[in-house]
Structure 1
Amino acid sequence: MIYRIVHRTTYKYKNPVSLGNHVACLKPRLLQHQQLTQTELRIHPLPATETERVDYFGNLLCFFTVQEPHKQLVVEARSEVIMQDNTSPWPQQSPPWEMAAQSLPNDLSTEGLKAYQFGFESPRIRVRPEFADYALQSFTPGRPMTDALLDLTARIHKDFRFDSKVTTVRTTTEEVFRKRRGVCQDFAHLQIACLRSLNLAARYVSGYLRTYPPPGKPRLIGADASHAWVSAYCPGVGWLDVDPTNNLVPSNGHVTLAWGRDYSDVSPLRGLILGGGAHTLKVAVDMEPLNSD
């Protein structure tokens, strides 16, 4: 499957911005099942400087500075991605989850050492007894890690309602847990908090999810949205991706943009500005399939 993805972010400021330093995390990762054939970042006003680098987690970042006074900033990322059928099926067997948790600190393999850092608290995710208690309803004694992970994913999908009006990017996981409502970012943070509270390693994955219009309705350009899901580490098996928002295992309909400890590591666009005052933000995403299934 080939997708053309256009992610357009527009900031409108009440007063002129005299200087803006920004970081964009908008280029999909290169993975075994995901190839990036084309990528372009269009910025207006044109930046005075623009550089690229790979961050600690292997994500592709663009740093740019806008020195021209402006009351509007538009950042448009255009990518073309080839998604192969996921050749790694969900494993039929895995060790008990307790073994996975106990072995992680002693796993000196390259993958194990990389995974270990995702077992700790991060800026937006705390380890809490209430998260452990909720997770233990799925992670029962001796249960295989893969089975428990799928069960927790299904329970979050069932117990929490998708509601884009009750949370913001600053809403804490504890508040989401109390309200039982949120969006994909919140559900990903919650599931990671549950896993880390059991001493398991889990990372936050940002990207895009292919959506389908209602029967008989045309596909609306720009009506898609960015998405977030979870990747949990199981020693001897590897990373296992799950999508608690939709209760499914990601496939070639999920395009991976970046991953980190939580949203703060992979926010699409962040930075510092001088001036501007109040502002409005508009985001439009279009994920267009270029070939048929």
Structure 2
Amino acid sequence: MAILRIRHETVYRYRSPVAFGEHRALLRPRESMDQRTLDYRLEVEPRPARVSWQEDASGNAVVVMNFDRRAPMLRVVATMVVEQTPFDTTHVSLPAAVRTCPFSYPREKMPDLARFIERQQPDAGGAVEAWARRILDETPGRDSWAFLCRMNDAIEGGFSYIRREEEGIQDAAATLRSGRGSCRDFAVLMAEAVRSLGFAARFVSGYLYVPHDESHIRQAGGNTHAWLQVFLPSVGWVDFDPTSGWVGNAGLVRVATVRDPRQAMPLSGSFTGFPGDFLGMSVDVDVTSEGYATPAAWVSMRAAAR
């Protein structure tokens, strides 16, 4: 068990005071059997005239903010303390019917999983599916769990990570062709690839914790992050992070789980002003831990999850 403390600050700056339209934020961690929010605070400047909390169709916590005055800056700061129980990847036992791939989910689960199996992007020429089938063919016995781990490793080891600040996500086929992408792009590529073979997958956005002095690990120190979950009978939704090649939830704080990554924007809204008013935005995220005792212990635990 570990305690993670997170501070996420977003600031929008304008040349002169502007009027703000409705803003929606996905900044509160999800509650689940392995993740619990112990404390949560949201500071917004200027102070909204109205704040309401909602739950979207995927069970994510959404805060809706309405404003009644102009300001030259919008600042949103979310601070949270999360208790996490790492998933033990060393004792995964799948039912015999799903141990080899391809397989079919139990009939009673299909109404709930169908939209997560459905491809979300076009795959002209079937390149993404062909790539997934090659990895499956290379997996001894076409073992389902081994296949998922092998694909996770293939992206981590065979693609170049780039930090993209611009909005949006590359198509899975574009990431496959270029061999490079951000964490969002890698999550979408793996989700689309496993969906092509009948797995139910969903996109996850949230936060990543990594000790600061482990510089060989991508995104060391903590940041916003994206990965995916795959549903496995008798196990549930399992986290796969193809950016790092890690399996399991250790150090990954889920904020939103969605079918389509466009549904997981951390903060969205509008403003009314002159076209040249917008000066830019900044995002600062800090993630610290009270439970992952030392960097060496962290790396050892993560190595066991690969």
Quick one: which amino acid aligns to residue 116 of structure 1? A
Quick one: which amino acid aligns to residue 260 of structure 1? V
2:61 corresponds in structure 1 to 60
2:184 corresponds in structure 1 to 185
Compute the TM-score of the two structures, normalised by the length of structure 1: 0.87
1:216-235 equivalence runs, <5 A: 224-235=222-233
1:40-79 equivalence runs, <5 A: 40-79=41-80
SS of the equivalent of 1:98 reads coil
SS of the equivalent of 1:185 reads helix
Identity of aligned pairs, percent? 28
1:40, CA displacement in angstroms?
1.2
Tell me if 1:120 matches 2:112: no
Quick one: which amino acid aligns to residue 289 of structure 1? S
Tell me if 1:240 matches 2:244: no
Which piece of structure 1 moves more, 167-176 or 36-45? 167-176
Structure 2 CA distance for aligned equivalents of residues 165 and 268 of structure 1: 16
1:12, CA displacement in angstroms?
1.2
Q: CA RMSD in A?
A: 2.4
Would the aligned equivalents of 1:127 and 1:193 in 2 still touch at CA under 8 Å?
A: no
1:14, CA displacement in angstroms?
3.5
Structure 1 pair 292/195, CA: closer, same or farther in 2 (3 Å)? closer
Which piece of structure 1 moves more, 88-97 or 1-10? 88-97
Quick one: which amino acid aligns to residue 175 of structure 2? V
SS of the equivalent of 1:252 reads coil
Would the aligned equivalents of 2:86 and 2:248 in 1 still touch at CA under 8 Å?
A: no
Structure 2 CA distance for aligned equivalents of residues 215 and 200 of structure 1: 33
Deviations 1:214-235 (A, max 9, x none): 279xxxxx96311111111233
Structure 1 pair 116/269, CA: closer, same or farther in 2 (3 Å)? same
Which piece of structure 1 moves more, 195-204 or 21-30? 195-204
Deviations 1:197-226 (A, max 9, x none): 22321100111111212279xxxxx96311
1:283, CA displacement in angstroms?
0.6
1:130 corresponds in structure 2 to 127
1:290, CA displacement in angstroms?
3.2
Structure 2 CA distance for aligned equivalents of residues 291 and 238 of structure 1: 25
Structure 1 pair 97/236, CA: closer, same or farther in 2 (3 Å)? farther
1:24, CA displacement in angstroms?
0.4
1:253, CA displacement in angstroms?
1.4
Structure 1 CA distance for aligned equivalents of residues 46 and 168 of structure 2: 26
Deviations 1:97-146 (A, max 9, x none): 211xxx23x6213xx43222211233xx4445111011111222851211
Structure 2 CA distance for aligned equivalents of residues 13 and 108 of structure 1: 52
Structure 1 pair 35/237, CA: closer, same or farther in 2 (3 Å)? closer
Q: Which runs of 5+ in 2 are unaligned?
A: 294-306
Structure 2 CA distance for aligned equivalents of residues 240 and 33 of structure 1: 11
Compute the TM-score of the two structures, normalised by the length of structure 2: 0.83
Q: Which runs of 5+ in 1 are unaligned?
A: 217-221
Would the aligned equivalents of 2:40 and 2:78 in 1 still touch at CA under 8 Å?
A: yes
| Alignment coverage as a number of residue pairs | 280
1:171, CA displacement in angstroms?
3.4
SS of the equivalent of 1:228 reads strand
Would the aligned equivalents of 2:210 and 2:221 in 1 still touch at CA under 8 Å?
A: no
1:289, CA displacement in angstroms?
1.5
Runs of 4+ in structure 1 over 4 Å off: 87-90, 165-168
1:4-15 equivalence runs, <5 A: 4-15=5-16
SS of the equivalent of 2:249 reads coil
Deviations 1:217-268 (A, max 9, x none): xxxxx96311111111233443222110000113331111110013211111
